[in-house]
Amino acid sequence: MPYEIVIGLEIHAELNTKSKIFCGCKNEFGGEPNSNCCPVCLGMPGTLPVLNKEAVIYAIKAGLAMNCRISEVSKMDRKNYFYPDMPKAYQVSQYDIPLCYDGYVEIEADGQTKNIGIERIHLEEDAGKLMHDPNGQGTLIDYNRAGVPLIEIVTRPDIRSPKEARVLFENIKSILEYTGVCDCQMQEGSLRADVNLSVRPTGQETLGTRTEMKNLNSFRAVERACEAEAKRQIELLEKGLKVVQETRRWDDSKQESYPMREKEESLDYRFFPEPDLVPIVVDKTLIKNIKASIPELPGARKKRYINELEIPAYDANIITSDMKIADFFEEATKVCSNYKLVSNWLLTDLLRLVKEKGQDVMQKLTAQKFGELMVYYDKGEISQASAKKVLDIVSETGEEPGSLIERLELKVQRDENLVESIVKKVVQDNPKAVSDYKSGKTKAFGFLMGRVMAQLKGNGDPEQIKRLLTRELKSLME
């Protein structure tokens, strides 16, 4: 029986604010354990939260970028549960009135474009981290992360394949990066996803029983976890068994999921409005200002690259998926308007360098210099081989491409008289090759061309040399 997979994602993103959500502590990753805490984020008796306005603005920004409506009045609520990483034993979150609701994100997967609904985006605080005491048997707690502002993005169950889940997660990451809302350092946990998945026989209206997998922190993990879980659920149904509604933990290294202990999922959070904070009132001017501060988003950029710059869709997709690359591309095309050339070089040679030498390469190189180099190449002033050489050196040293080309004498030599005199000399100096050519051995022409190119230190224009050499040999044969 064919089955349909139904997936919804809950994505947690740490906001890129300067300070934590309710206190003045810096919002920073890492540092000595418990070096970045204060009485407020440690939940000490008598302390009170003060909501960081920047966090509200970032959350709204994310909402607007995902086409959400913004609640004019929303509130914070307390989610009560005991766990040592939660200093107050409750998390301040939003329960029934989220800051943003009813939006969508466009995805393109398996050759189709569709919108995935965003049910809500709400604001909340992150918890600390538990770690095992390396010197003993106990558990240690680092509260540096406690009170870092988070948004939770909850999609509607509109996703129909593991691939779509992955693409949606990728698109949301790009949007968060473009808007500057989140730094999206997934290995540091600043962006992570929970997956809700169910299957049903194709054509069936009602949803199947769903399971949840928590804290997936890579695109691949999301896709794989969805594939494995869909397979597991279908196999159960095929055997006539039932899917149990539960929370499962995905182990990406083993490519398997396990049910979490029942206790962890049967919590009653006893939500109620946070009495220490006043309602969040968002006026229209603020929304307007935030809207104005949102840059062109990846989807729109991609469309523009394809339609206006005539970049192939595949290339446009890769460029826009990473804002740093897209911005680099945009800058470079301000210098060199051969968009396709810039895009080709960026996707092959530049990304190769980034892969080999790391992100620093782009800072050394700069889009400006990259664009200048492309201009030299585009005008035929340097050869492809020289352009590659210059790219390699500039990305190491940051030298100006122009002065480097001068210094290494890489400019293509097109002086007609000079090239002609070299051609003449080469013909004179290589009588054997000339006679071979005359007797019909065409290979000899290539040899002679190579000689000329060598005389020009590789900086000759092959077309010009070919033309002049053909003329010279022809004149000899007449």
Partner 1 sequence: MNIYSRTIKEINKMLINREIGAVELTRYFLDNIKRKNKEINCYITVCEDKALRKAEEAQKLIDSGENISPLCGIPYAVKDNFCTENIRTTCASKMLENFIPPYSATIVNKLEEKGAVILGKLNMDEFGMGCSSENSFFGPVYNPWNQEYVAGGSSGGSAAALAADLAGFTLASDTGGSIRQPAAFCGVVGLKPTYGLVSRHGLIAFASSLDQAGPMTRDVTDCAIVLNEIAGYDPMDSVSVRKGFENYLDGIDRGVDGIKIGMPEEFFNTDFAPEIKEAIFKAAEELCQHGARSYEVSLPSVKHTVPCYYIISSAEASSNLARYDGIRFGYRNPDARNLDELYKFSRSEGFGKEVKRRIILGTFALSSGHNDKLYSKALKVRRLISDEFKNILEKVDCLVAPVYPTTAFKAGGDNCKDPLKMYLSDIYTAAVNLAGLPALTVPLGLDSKGLPIGMQIIGKAFCEKLLFQVGHAIEKIAGRIIPGVKS
CB 126 within 8 A of CB 13: no
Residue 443 CA to residue 342 CA, distance in Å, equals: 35
Quick one: which of 344, 364, 6 has its CA closest to 205?
Answer: 6
Which of Zn ion, partner 1, none interacts with 351 (beta carbon under 5 to 8 A by kind)?
none
Q: Does 26 bind Zn ion (CB under 5 A)?
A: no
Residue number, 66 or 146, with CB nearest to partner 1 = 146
By a kind-dependent CB cut-off of 5 to 8 A, residue 25 interacts, out of Zn ion, partner 1, none, with: Zn ion
3-state per-residue secondary structure call for 371-394: HHHHHHHHCCCCCHHHHHHHHHHH
* 41 binds, options partner 1, Zn ion, none, Cβ within 5 to 8 A by partner type: Zn ion
- Residue with smaller CB distance to partner 1, 77 or 177: 77
Q: Does 184 bind Zn ion (CB under 5 A)?
A: no
CB 41 to Zn ion: min, Å: 3
Q: Which stretch binds Zn ion (CB under 5 A): 19-27, 244-252, 261-269, 301-309?
A: 19-27
How big is the site for Zn ion, counted in residues (CB under 5 A)? 5
**55: contact with Zn ion by CB under 5 A:** no
> From the CB of 49, what's the least distance to Zn ion, in Å?
10
Residue among 164, 118, 113 nearest 5 (CA):
164
Does 23 engage in binding with Zn ion (CB under 5 A)? yes
Q: Which residues contact 380 (CB under 8 A, 6 or more apart)?
A: 412, 461
| 51 is a site residue for Zn ion (CB under 5 A) | no
Q: Which is nearer to partner 1, 2 or 46 (CB)?
A: 46
Residue 75 CA to residue 466 CA, distance in Å, equals 76
CB of 369 to partner 1, least distance (A): 48
CA 396 from centre of chain: 24
Nearer to Zn ion, 28 or 420 (CB): 28
Residue 237 binding partner per list partner 1, Zn ion, none, with a CB distance cut-off of 5 to 8 Å that depends on partner kind: none
Partner touching 311 among partner 1, Zn ion, none, CB below 5 to 8 Å by kind: none
Alpha-carbon distances, residue 116 vs 60, 96, 101, 409 (angstroms): 19, 22, 13, 55
Q: Give 460: exposed, middle or buried? Use CB within 10 Å, 0-12, 13-18, 19+.
A: buried
Residue number, 78 or 302, with CB nearest to partner 1:
78
CB closer to partner 1 out of 81 and 314: 81
Identify which of residues 125 and 152 has a Cβ nearer to Zn ion in the complex: 125
Q: How many CA atoms lie within 13 A of 471 on its CB side?
A: 12
Which of the listed partners (Zn ion, partner 1, none) does 46 bind, with a CB threshold of 5 to 8 Å by partner kind?
partner 1
Q: Which stretch binds Zn ion (CB under 5 A): 36-44, 186-194, 324-332, 356-364?
A: 36-44
Helix 431-438 to helix 462-477 angle (10° resolution) is: 80
Q: What is the largest CA-CA distance in the chain?
A: 105
Report CA torsion sign: 161, 164, 170, 174.
negative
Which residues of the chain form contacts with partner 1 (CB under 8 A)?
Answer: 39, 42-51, 78, 80, 82, 84, 87-90, 141, 268, 270-272, 275-278
- Residue carrying structure tokens 């418990």: 34
Binding site for Zn ion (CB under 5 A): 23, 25, 38, 40-41
